[in-house]
Amino acid sequence: MDSQADSELRKTCDSSDVSPTNPLQPSVSRKSMVRPFDFSRARKLHIVVAGIYFVFNSSLGSSLPSGAHDAIADYFHIPRDDLKMVLPTSLYMAGFAIGPLIFGPLSERFGRKPIMVSTFAIYNLFTMACALAPNFPALLIFRFLCGLGGSAPNAVLGGLFSDIYNDPHQRGMVMSIFMFATTFPPLLGPIISGFISTVSWRWTFWAGFIIGGVGFPLVLVMPETYMPVLCRAHEKAVGHSQIDLEVAKSRLHEPKLSDNIGIILSRPFTMIVQEPIVFCCSMYLALIYSILYLFFQAYPIVFQGLYGMTPGIAGLAFLPILPGSVLAFVAFILYSSYHTKALQNGLAWAKVEEYRRLPLACIAAPAIPIALFWLGWSSRSSIHPVMPMMSGVFFGFGYLLIFIALLNYLTDAYKQYSASAAAAASTLRSIFAVCLPLATTPMYTKLGIDWASSLLGFFAMAMAIIPFVFIKYGSWIRENSKFAQRAAQGYAPS
């Protein structure tokens, strides 16, 4: 860090009342304020690119085995329709479910950088291990550990971006890019593995390892962003002579680290139980997220089973989701600019927190059931396969826009607690993404493609009411929320 940045850090730490010895605890005499450190534009760009590169890889890794399904089954002498063949993806998602509960809260204690670096190393290491797996049980274990390491960005990046962007418009733009980076790579996974697995299923994972390894230095050299950790490092650098007597006395009453860790790790569970906003947003995100991963099992049933396509060509059926996602991204940019101008003009509606993000979710909500009904009732051997493929445009539009709106809403509402809120949301949706794909083959076999897809559409219609409810009652809910009020007042996590 250069001298100018160091001088600014010194002023920030001196003006904020975070306890130098324990930045998670407010000072005895004054309120603890957590303010973003003003990194240079180049530093911010580096941090954003590093975070998005990580999430690109972990999202790609989630779907990599999909196109290699048949090759893996044949190599390990497992029937192709055996339920065990869902496990390489489901166990990865199980790691996604567990990891955020650990890494999100720990990033609020030890900082963002050590969590990001260590977990990206774990992800790359076990992606390589998957390529070398000697048997199917070993492959499953490595896939779980790979998912565990790859889960960190789902919990950490919301907090990471709130560390460096105080302006909600800038933060929202970066979060939208982050969400696009989580949507696009899973669509590439089946295509990459569908074609590479014709050489060897192991090359599917070698490709993932190469893609991840190339960008690892970006994450390795990223700076720390979390202000309490920066202040603690600053205090160690300048020595203890600057600690005032009052803070020194407060050390005698500080909780032990083990007590803090217990509080930190339990925070996502506490928030998902006590915070209606966290619970409802998490449930809605969990449904549409698990539907995406259900598609990795359902699309082969439709396009390989019904239309007789090869795995590589069937993987191309995911491509229409991409233009839908691009349309969602454009819609976000247009609405975000419109809202910012309204806020600058002092319009009353723009000052309401719920109108910053949630109208986008209201626009997107109908697109998910439309996509599911379209897929279900256009999948006929008498109808060209392009027709059911095009349902992906609606799904991509609804999926990305709902994620952008709700995750940004969580970040805006909970600020420095956003890593824990994101961890709760990520864990719940990953649990759904583990369980729902397991039911894909039985559901589509018994109900048929039409009614199985329609059943999911009915659930999506029921969930679509959530953003409308929050627009009406969200302000009242936040006023009665302990975490949201502490975040609004700027208290450091404790």
Per-residue pLDDT band at 17 (split at 50, 70, 90):
very low
The answer for residues whose C-beta is within 8 angstroms of residue 70's C-beta and 6 or more apart is 80, 197, 311
pLDDT at residue 22, as a whole number: 41
pLDDT at residue 16 greater than cutoff 50: no
Judge contact between 172 and 407, C-beta under 8 A: no
Question: What does pLDDT average to over the chain?
Answer: 81
Residue 13 pLDDT = 58
pLDDT at 263: 64
pLDDT interval class at 265 (50, 70, 90) = low
Q: What integer pLDDT is reported at residue 8 of this predicted model?
A: 54
What whole-number distance in Å separates Cα of residue 177 and Cα of residue 331?
A: 13
* Residue 105 clears pLDDT 80, i.e. is over it: no
Residue 250 has a pLDDT of: 40
The arithmetic mean of pLDDT across residues 85-110, rounded, is 83
Which amino acid is located at 30 in the chain? R
Q: What is the pLDDT of residues 144-185, one digit of tens each?
A: 999 999 988 877 887 788 788 877 777 777 877 877 777 778
- Check residue 7 and give its pLDDT: 55
Q: Which domains does the chain have, with CATH numbers?
A: 37-225 (1.20.1250.20), 260-484 (1.20.1250.20)
- pLDDT in the model for residue 37: 57
pLDDT in the model for residue 183: 76
Q: pTM to 2 decimals?
A: 0.71
Q: Is the pLDDT of residue 58 over 50?
A: yes
Structure confidence at residue 375 (pLDDT): 94
According to the model, what pLDDT value does residue 391 have? 94
Token pair of 29, please?
Answer: 């005499």
Looking up tokens 């100018």 gives 4
The stretch 446-470 carries a mean pLDDT of 94
Quick: pLDDT tens for 27-49: 333 333 444 556 788 888 898 89
